[in-house]
Amino acid sequence: MDVGLGKEGYGMWRVLDANFNRLGEALRVLEDISRFILEEKDLTERFRLLRHGLTPRDPFLKAKFLHARDSAGDVGRGAERSERRDEVAVALANARRVQESLRVIEELSKLPEVSPHLDQDKFSQARFTFYELEKELFSRLQRRQKRERIRGLYLILDCQAARGRDEVKLARQAILGGVRLIQLRDKERSSAELLPLARKLQQLCAESSVLFLVNDRVDLALGAEADGVHLGPDDFPVQEARKLLPWDKLIGCSVKTLAQARRAAEEGADYVSVGSIYPSPTKPQAKVVGLDLLRQTRGELSLPLVAIGGIGPERVAEVLTAGADAVAVVSAVLQAEDVTTAVRELVQKIEEAS
């Protein structure tokens, strides 16, 4: 006996056909976002396997679906007209379609006429599998959006260079001037001592749409819920940090050679910081790598590049011309009497050069 009271008695088969089509289409969109936008091979393969595993193979079902299908007579045809602002909105809409379709299919698979052909437990389990995939997909999309914000002026809030001044106040003044990223760096205090400060800075930056990162310490970045961590070439390995951090967190890496830059990119860094470009008053012992390394790195990597080391307003244009996406500073801001004015001058130079 045919299920349902729709056209010619095929109502429920039409419902199943529509939801299997919707499910496959939505999973394919998410699979292609993973493949072409995120370029994540593992995530793409997992979406593909889920999509293939949920495609009905039973000839009986295929025949029922085709016979029941009436696209021209679908009263809901063309009803959805919502706008999509970006790839995240597209992913959200299609993730919702996957969830809804799986629930409909799971419920209808309980019907006695359908249950011999559809495994209810399979679709129930698929929903939970998808929840994990969805979480990972959106975390990676959020990280990608953060990576695209690595532009402009990047303040390294070095607590020792601050010379006892209130770090939160300094950060607020820098944000008022137009800084885009702030990194907390302290080589003396423990992570436990720094955690309250890091949390205050994270809240301030979040309220101001400024990225907040922590230097060296993955534990502190996690505790403060920072946007990410910045590591040196001899610090905690990038690939190990990636295992510990949520997928939406950024990892930056300082490099002094092209080989280090390549390795950082291969291990999962979201950006590399090249320097010291010029002699630095903050780190007088640092090796000066010059603009050539910046140009070479830009020629090989598509990741955002941050130039650091001895950069003042008069040098902004040449580091951007050499390939930098962002300019990191310490003393040019923290040694200024008026932090906001110093930041505004640097931001203006960046905007002019860009």
Catalytic residues: 185, 254, 283
Query: Which DSSP helix (H) or strand (E) runs through 50?
Result: helix 41-54
- Residue 288 DSSP code: P
Q: How far apart are CA 188 and CA 183, in angstroms?
A: 16
- Asked if residues 240 and 282 have their Cβ atoms less than 8 Å apart, the reply is no
Tell me whether the omega of the peptide bond preceding residue 276 falls within 30 degrees of 0, making it cis: yes
Q: What is the dihedral of CA 262, 263, 269, 272, to 10 degrees?
A: -50
The angle at the Cα of 334, spanning 195 to 207, to the nearest 5 degrees, equals 50
Q: How far apart are CA 255 and CA 272, in angstroms?
A: 7
Q: Fill in the amino acid letter for 173.
A: Q
* CA neighbor of 167 nearest in space, from 192, 194, 188: 194
Q: How far apart are CA 330 and CA 187, in angstroms?
A: 14
Which ranges constitute the DSSP H helices of 74-166? 87-108, 120-148
Backbone angles phi, psi at 239, to 5 degrees: -65, -30
Token duo for residue 253? 């890496």
* CA neighbor of 155 nearest in space, from 167, 143, 145: 167
| Cα→Cα distances 209→155, 166, 201, 304, Å | 14, 21, 12, 18
Q: How far apart are CA 213 and CA 269, in angstroms?
A: 14
Q: First-to-last CA distance in the chain?
A: 70
